[in-house]
A and B are shown apart, each in its own frame.
Chain A
Amino acid sequence: MSMFNRNEKETGTGAAVGEKPSDAPASVAAAPKPAQPVVQPVVQPAPEPAPVRSGNAGPSVISKALKITGQLESTEDIRIDGEVEGDIHGVSVTVGNGAKVKGSVYGQTVELSGTIEGKIEAKKVVLTSTAHMAGDVIHQDIKIESGAYIDGHCRPGTNKLDGKPAGKPN
Protein backbone atom coordinates (compact mmCIF):
# COMPACT_ATOMS: atom_id res chain seq x y z
CA MET A 1 0.00 0.00 0.00
CA SER A 2 2.80 2.41 0.89
CA MET A 3 4.57 1.62 -2.31
CA PHE A 4 1.45 2.34 -4.18
CA ASN A 5 1.23 5.74 -2.56
CA ARG A 6 4.79 6.55 -3.32
CA ASN A 7 4.21 5.76 -6.90
CA GLU A 8 1.32 8.11 -7.02
CA LYS A 9 3.39 10.86 -5.49
CA GLU A 10 6.08 10.28 -8.05
CA THR A 11 3.55 10.56 -10.82
CA GLY A 12 2.36 13.86 -9.42
CA THR A 13 5.78 15.50 -9.08
CA GLY A 14 7.65 14.00 -11.95
CA ALA A 15 5.97 15.86 -14.72
CA ALA A 16 8.88 15.49 -17.07
CA VAL A 17 9.35 12.38 -19.07
CA GLY A 18 12.36 10.51 -17.83
CA GLU A 19 13.30 7.03 -18.85
CA LYS A 20 15.84 6.59 -16.09
CA PRO A 21 14.75 7.76 -12.69
CA SER A 22 18.19 8.75 -11.42
CA ASP A 23 20.15 9.98 -14.40
CA ALA A 24 17.75 12.10 -16.36
CA PRO A 25 18.32 15.76 -15.43
CA ALA A 26 14.64 16.59 -15.60
CA SER A 27 13.95 13.92 -13.06
CA VAL A 28 16.71 15.25 -10.81
CA ALA A 29 15.31 18.72 -11.00
CA ALA A 30 11.90 17.45 -10.11
CA ALA A 31 13.15 15.40 -7.18
CA PRO A 32 16.21 17.00 -5.58
CA LYS A 33 16.59 14.22 -3.02
CA PRO A 34 19.02 11.41 -3.82
CA ALA A 35 17.51 8.90 -6.08
CA GLN A 36 15.73 6.20 -4.26
CA PRO A 37 15.02 2.80 -5.63
CA VAL A 38 11.46 3.39 -6.55
CA VAL A 39 9.60 1.67 -9.28
CA GLN A 40 9.33 4.25 -11.97
CA PRO A 41 5.71 4.55 -12.97
CA VAL A 42 4.91 4.38 -16.59
CA VAL A 43 4.86 7.98 -17.67
CA GLN A 44 3.06 8.67 -20.87
CA PRO A 45 4.88 11.09 -23.11
CA ALA A 46 3.22 14.46 -23.02
CA PRO A 47 1.31 15.15 -26.20
CA GLU A 48 3.18 17.48 -28.48
CA PRO A 49 1.81 20.97 -28.38
CA ALA A 50 -0.10 21.82 -31.51
CA PRO A 51 1.99 23.96 -33.81
CA VAL A 52 1.03 27.54 -33.25
CA ARG A 53 -0.09 29.04 -36.46
CA SER A 54 -1.03 32.63 -36.91
CA GLY A 55 -3.89 31.35 -38.96
CA ASN A 56 -5.94 34.45 -39.39
CA ALA A 57 -3.14 36.88 -39.93
CA GLY A 58 -1.04 37.07 -43.01
CA PRO A 59 -1.88 37.07 -46.65
CA SER A 60 -4.12 34.74 -48.52
CA VAL A 61 -2.20 32.23 -50.55
CA ILE A 62 -3.73 30.59 -53.58
CA SER A 63 -1.31 27.75 -54.10
CA LYS A 64 -0.21 26.21 -57.35
CA ALA A 65 -2.68 23.36 -57.04
CA LEU A 66 -5.74 25.57 -56.58
CA LYS A 67 -8.04 26.91 -59.24
CA ILE A 68 -10.72 29.42 -58.31
CA THR A 69 -13.59 30.26 -60.62
CA GLY A 70 -15.22 33.35 -59.24
CA GLN A 71 -14.58 36.62 -57.52
CA LEU A 72 -12.05 37.28 -54.77
CA GLU A 73 -12.36 40.20 -52.42
CA SER A 74 -9.99 40.95 -49.60
CA THR A 75 -8.90 43.86 -47.44
CA GLU A 76 -5.51 42.23 -47.08
CA ASP A 77 -2.78 40.95 -49.29
CA ILE A 78 -3.36 38.17 -51.79
CA ARG A 79 -0.73 35.98 -53.33
CA ILE A 80 -1.70 33.88 -56.31
CA ASP A 81 0.40 30.97 -57.51
CA GLY A 82 -2.48 29.02 -58.99
CA GLU A 83 -5.24 29.91 -61.38
CA VAL A 84 -8.08 32.37 -61.01
CA GLU A 85 -10.92 32.98 -63.42
CA GLY A 86 -12.60 36.09 -62.18
CA ASP A 87 -11.92 39.48 -60.72
CA ILE A 88 -9.60 40.06 -57.79
CA HIS A 89 -9.88 42.94 -55.35
CA GLY A 90 -7.11 43.20 -52.83
CA VAL A 91 -4.70 45.62 -51.23
CA SER A 92 -1.48 44.13 -52.43
CA VAL A 93 -1.94 41.49 -55.08
CA THR A 94 1.00 39.35 -56.16
CA VAL A 95 0.63 37.08 -59.14
CA GLY A 96 3.52 34.67 -58.96
CA ASN A 97 5.52 33.06 -61.70
CA GLY A 98 3.42 30.37 -63.35
CA ALA A 99 0.17 31.74 -62.02
CA LYS A 100 -2.67 32.65 -64.34
CA VAL A 101 -5.47 35.14 -63.93
CA LYS A 102 -8.33 35.63 -66.34
CA GLY A 103 -10.06 38.75 -65.19
CA SER A 104 -9.38 42.14 -63.75
CA VAL A 105 -7.07 42.78 -60.84
CA TYR A 106 -7.64 45.76 -58.59
CA GLY A 107 -5.44 46.84 -55.72
CA GLN A 108 -3.09 49.39 -54.25
CA THR A 109 -0.13 47.42 -55.45
CA VAL A 110 -0.08 44.75 -58.10
CA GLU A 111 3.04 42.76 -58.81
CA LEU A 112 2.91 40.47 -61.78
CA SER A 113 5.33 37.65 -62.49
CA GLY A 114 2.81 35.34 -64.10
CA THR A 115 0.04 35.82 -66.60
CA ILE A 116 -2.96 38.12 -66.54
CA GLU A 117 -5.57 38.18 -69.26
CA GLY A 118 -7.65 41.14 -68.35
CA LYS A 119 -6.99 44.45 -66.72
CA ILE A 120 -4.84 45.81 -63.94
CA GLU A 121 -6.00 48.84 -62.03
CA ALA A 122 -3.66 49.83 -59.25
CA LYS A 123 -1.68 52.72 -57.82
CA LYS A 124 1.57 50.89 -58.17
CA VAL A 125 2.15 48.24 -60.79
CA VAL A 126 5.25 46.12 -61.17
CA LEU A 127 5.71 43.83 -64.16
CA THR A 128 8.69 41.59 -63.59
CA SER A 129 10.75 39.97 -66.30
CA THR A 130 8.52 36.90 -66.45
CA ALA A 131 5.26 38.86 -66.60
CA HIS A 132 2.78 38.21 -69.37
CA MET A 133 0.15 40.92 -69.49
CA ALA A 134 -2.63 40.75 -72.06
CA GLY A 135 -4.80 43.77 -71.40
CA ASP A 136 -4.73 47.32 -70.20
CA VAL A 137 -2.83 48.63 -67.23
CA ILE A 138 -4.19 51.63 -65.40
CA HIS A 139 -1.67 52.93 -62.94
CA GLN A 140 -0.12 55.89 -61.18
CA ASP A 141 3.29 54.39 -60.84
CA ILE A 142 4.55 51.60 -63.04
CA LYS A 143 7.73 49.60 -63.27
CA ILE A 144 8.36 47.27 -66.18
CA GLU A 145 11.37 45.02 -66.13
CA SER A 146 13.13 43.95 -69.27
CA GLY A 147 11.56 40.77 -70.57
CA ALA A 148 8.02 41.54 -69.57
CA TYR A 149 5.36 40.99 -72.21
CA ILE A 150 2.56 43.52 -72.57
CA ASP A 151 -0.23 43.50 -75.08
CA GLY A 152 -2.42 46.43 -74.13
CA HIS A 153 -2.46 50.04 -73.16
CA CYS A 154 -0.63 51.46 -70.22
CA ARG A 155 -2.24 54.63 -69.10
CA PRO A 156 -2.04 56.69 -65.98
CA GLY A 157 -5.25 56.76 -64.05
CA THR A 158 -6.01 60.13 -62.57
CA ASN A 159 -9.00 58.71 -60.78
CA LYS A 160 -8.64 57.46 -57.30
CA LEU A 161 -7.05 54.08 -57.56
CA ASP A 162 -7.67 52.69 -54.18
CA GLY A 163 -8.40 49.13 -54.99
CA LYS A 164 -12.00 49.80 -55.88
CA PRO A 165 -13.06 49.49 -59.48
CA ALA A 166 -13.07 52.98 -60.90
CA GLY A 167 -15.22 54.35 -63.66
CA LYS A 168 -13.95 54.47 -67.21
CA PRO A 169 -10.93 56.75 -67.12
CA ASN A 170 -11.01 58.91 -70.23
Chain B
Amino acid sequence: MGTAMSAAQARLLLKPPRAEGGTPLSASHLSQSLTVKGDLDSDGEVHIHGNVSGLVLVDRLVVEVGGSLDGDVVARDVHIEGRMTGRIFALNVTLESAAEVSGRIFHNTISVAKGARIDARMPWRPPSYFETLEQLPEVRQ
Protein backbone atom coordinates (compact mmCIF):
# COMPACT_ATOMS: atom_id res chain seq x y z
CA MET B 1 0.00 0.00 0.00
CA GLY B 2 1.36 3.38 -0.95
CA THR B 3 2.06 5.98 1.62
CA ALA B 4 -0.56 8.22 0.09
CA MET B 5 -3.14 5.55 0.74
CA SER B 6 -2.34 5.23 4.40
CA ALA B 7 -2.65 8.94 5.06
CA ALA B 8 -4.91 9.84 7.92
CA GLN B 9 -7.76 10.89 5.68
CA ALA B 10 -10.94 8.92 6.20
CA ARG B 11 -11.41 7.88 2.63
CA LEU B 12 -13.72 5.15 1.53
CA LEU B 13 -11.91 2.55 -0.49
CA LEU B 14 -14.92 1.40 -2.45
CA LYS B 15 -15.79 3.61 -5.38
CA PRO B 16 -19.17 5.31 -5.22
CA PRO B 17 -21.83 3.69 -7.39
CA ARG B 18 -22.15 5.24 -10.76
CA ALA B 19 -25.40 6.89 -11.74
CA GLU B 20 -27.50 4.74 -13.99
CA GLY B 21 -27.91 7.36 -16.69
CA GLY B 22 -24.41 8.71 -16.34
CA THR B 23 -21.99 8.51 -19.20
CA PRO B 24 -20.03 5.30 -18.93
CA LEU B 25 -16.38 5.77 -18.28
CA SER B 26 -14.16 4.23 -20.84
CA ALA B 27 -12.36 1.14 -19.70
CA SER B 28 -8.63 0.95 -19.29
CA HIS B 29 -6.80 -1.93 -20.92
CA LEU B 30 -3.41 -3.00 -19.70
CA SER B 31 -2.08 -5.16 -22.50
CA GLN B 32 -0.29 -8.46 -22.31
CA SER B 33 3.17 -6.97 -22.54
CA LEU B 34 2.57 -4.30 -19.94
CA THR B 35 3.93 -4.69 -16.45
CA VAL B 36 2.81 -2.28 -13.76
CA LYS B 37 4.56 -2.13 -10.45
CA GLY B 38 2.38 0.16 -8.45
CA ASP B 39 -1.14 1.07 -7.51
CA LEU B 40 -4.17 1.50 -9.74
CA ASP B 41 -6.95 3.89 -8.82
CA SER B 42 -9.97 4.37 -11.06
CA ASP B 43 -13.65 5.22 -10.92
CA GLY B 44 -14.18 3.05 -13.94
CA GLU B 45 -13.29 -0.31 -15.33
CA VAL B 46 -9.84 -1.85 -15.66
CA HIS B 47 -8.94 -4.90 -17.73
CA ILE B 48 -5.64 -6.55 -16.93
CA HIS B 49 -4.12 -8.67 -19.69
CA GLY B 50 -0.58 -8.22 -18.41
CA ASN B 51 1.01 -8.20 -15.02
CA VAL B 52 0.16 -5.87 -12.18
CA SER B 53 1.58 -5.89 -8.69
CA GLY B 54 0.11 -3.43 -6.27
CA LEU B 55 -3.11 -2.21 -4.73
CA VAL B 56 -6.07 -1.90 -7.08
CA LEU B 57 -8.99 0.40 -6.21
CA VAL B 58 -11.48 0.40 -9.06
CA ASP B 59 -15.17 0.14 -9.76
CA ARG B 60 -14.86 -3.01 -11.85
CA LEU B 61 -11.80 -5.17 -12.29
CA VAL B 62 -11.36 -7.83 -14.93
CA VAL B 63 -8.28 -10.02 -14.89
CA GLU B 64 -8.31 -11.53 -18.36
CA VAL B 65 -6.97 -14.88 -19.48
CA GLY B 66 -3.20 -14.63 -19.30
CA GLY B 67 -3.33 -11.66 -16.98
CA SER B 68 -2.05 -11.73 -13.46
CA LEU B 69 -2.47 -9.59 -10.40
CA ASP B 70 -0.38 -9.73 -7.27
CA GLY B 71 -1.93 -7.53 -4.63
CA ASP B 72 -5.13 -6.52 -2.95
CA VAL B 73 -8.17 -5.25 -4.78
CA VAL B 74 -11.19 -3.30 -3.58
CA ALA B 75 -13.95 -3.08 -6.16
CA ARG B 76 -17.65 -3.38 -6.71
CA ASP B 77 -17.27 -6.17 -9.26
CA VAL B 78 -14.33 -8.47 -9.71
CA HIS B 79 -14.16 -10.87 -12.62
CA ILE B 80 -11.19 -13.19 -12.81
CA GLU B 81 -10.18 -15.38 -15.70
CA GLY B 82 -6.47 -15.24 -15.08
CA ARG B 83 -4.27 -15.47 -12.05
CA MET B 84 -4.55 -13.52 -8.87
CA THR B 85 -2.68 -13.62 -5.60
CA GLY B 86 -3.87 -11.44 -2.80
CA ARG B 87 -7.05 -10.33 -1.17
CA ILE B 88 -10.27 -9.45 -2.91
CA PHE B 89 -12.77 -7.09 -1.27
CA ALA B 90 -15.73 -6.96 -3.60
CA LEU B 91 -19.49 -7.08 -3.54
CA ASN B 92 -19.70 -9.34 -6.57
CA VAL B 93 -16.99 -11.81 -7.41
CA THR B 94 -16.94 -14.05 -10.46
CA LEU B 95 -14.23 -16.64 -10.88
CA GLU B 96 -14.15 -18.22 -14.32
CA SER B 97 -12.94 -21.70 -15.07
CA ALA B 98 -9.47 -20.53 -16.07
CA ALA B 99 -9.02 -18.58 -12.84
CA GLU B 100 -6.24 -19.30 -10.41
CA VAL B 101 -6.75 -17.48 -7.16
CA SER B 102 -4.98 -17.67 -3.87
CA GLY B 103 -5.55 -15.45 -0.91
CA ARG B 104 -8.79 -14.32 0.61
CA ILE B 105 -12.03 -13.38 -1.05
CA PHE B 106 -14.22 -11.07 1.00
CA HIS B 107 -17.46 -11.02 -0.91
CA ASN B 108 -21.19 -10.47 -0.78
CA THR B 109 -22.02 -12.61 -3.77
CA ILE B 110 -19.68 -15.01 -5.45
CA SER B 111 -19.77 -17.43 -8.32
CA VAL B 112 -17.08 -19.95 -9.07
CA ALA B 113 -16.99 -21.82 -12.34
CA LYS B 114 -16.09 -25.45 -12.53
CA GLY B 115 -12.40 -25.82 -13.15
CA ALA B 116 -11.29 -22.74 -11.30
CA ARG B 117 -8.34 -23.31 -9.06
CA ILE B 118 -9.03 -21.60 -5.79
CA ASP B 119 -6.81 -21.68 -2.76
CA ALA B 120 -8.54 -19.12 -0.63
CA ARG B 121 -10.82 -18.45 2.24
CA MET B 122 -14.06 -16.83 1.20
CA PRO B 123 -15.58 -14.88 4.04
CA TRP B 124 -19.03 -13.45 3.38
CA ARG B 125 -19.64 -9.85 4.38
CA PRO B 126 -22.76 -7.66 4.24
CA PRO B 127 -22.76 -4.82 1.69
CA SER B 128 -22.25 -2.30 4.47
CA TYR B 129 -18.87 -3.83 5.19
CA PHE B 130 -17.61 -2.88 1.75
CA GLU B 131 -19.33 0.47 1.64
CA THR B 132 -17.71 1.62 4.85
CA LEU B 133 -14.29 0.13 4.26
CA GLU B 134 -11.68 2.78 4.93
CA GLN B 135 -8.64 0.71 5.61
CA LEU B 136 -7.76 -2.79 4.66
CA PRO B 137 -7.39 -5.16 7.57
CA GLU B 138 -3.92 -6.23 8.47
CA VAL B 139 -2.63 -9.32 6.79
CA ARG B 140 -2.40 -12.14 9.27
CA GLN B 141 -0.31 -15.14 8.56
Binding site for B on A (CB under 8 A): 55-76, 78, 81-82, 85-86
For A56, what are the chain B residues with a Cβ–Cβ distance below 8 Å? 31-32, 49, 64, 66
List of A residues within 8 angstroms of B43 by Cβ: 65
Cβ contact within 8 Å between B2 and A58: no
* Interface pair B38/A69, CB less than 8 Å apart: yes
Could you say which residues of chain B place their CB within 8 Å of the CB of A57? 31
- Bound complex: CA of A63 vs CA of B46, how far in Å? 9
- Size bracket of the B interface: 20 to 34
Of the candidates A62, A72, A82, the one whose C-beta lies within 8 Å of that of B35 is A72
Residue of A nearest to B43 (CB): A65
Q: Decide if B31 touches A82 in the complex (CB within 8 Å).
A: no
Interface-located stretch among B20-28, B99-107, B120-128: B20-28
* B31–A65 CB distance below 8 A: no
- Residues on B facing A (Cβ under 8 Å): 2, 4, 25-44, 46-47, 49-50, 54, 58, 64-66
Instruction: Please name 19 further chain A to chain B contacts, defined as beta carbons within 8 Å, in addition to the given A65-B26, A73-B37, sorted by A numbering.
Output: A55-B49, A56-B49, A59-B29, A60-B31, A61-B28, A63-B27, A64-B25, A66-B41, A66-B58, A67-B40, A69-B39, A69-B41, A71-B36, A72-B35, A72-B38, A73-B34, A74-B31, A78-B34, A85-B38
A58 CB contacts on chain B under 8 angstroms: 29, 31
| Residue in B33, B36, B49 whose CB lies within 8 Å of A68 | B36
Query: Do A63 and B25 touch across chains, with their CB atoms under 8 A apart?
Result: yes
Residue among B2, B41, B44 making CB contact with A63, cutoff 8 Å: B44
Whether the Cβ atoms of B42 and A55 lie closer than 8 Å is no
Q: Which chain A residues border B65 with CB–CB below 8 Å?
A: 55
Q: CA separation between A58 and B32, bound complex, in Å? A: 9
| B residues less than 8 Å from A65 (CB atoms) | 25-26, 28, 42-44
**B4 surroundings in chain A (CB, below 8 A):** 69
Residue pair B34, A72 in contact (C-beta under 8 Å): yes
Separation of A56 and B67 alpha carbons in the complex (Å): 9
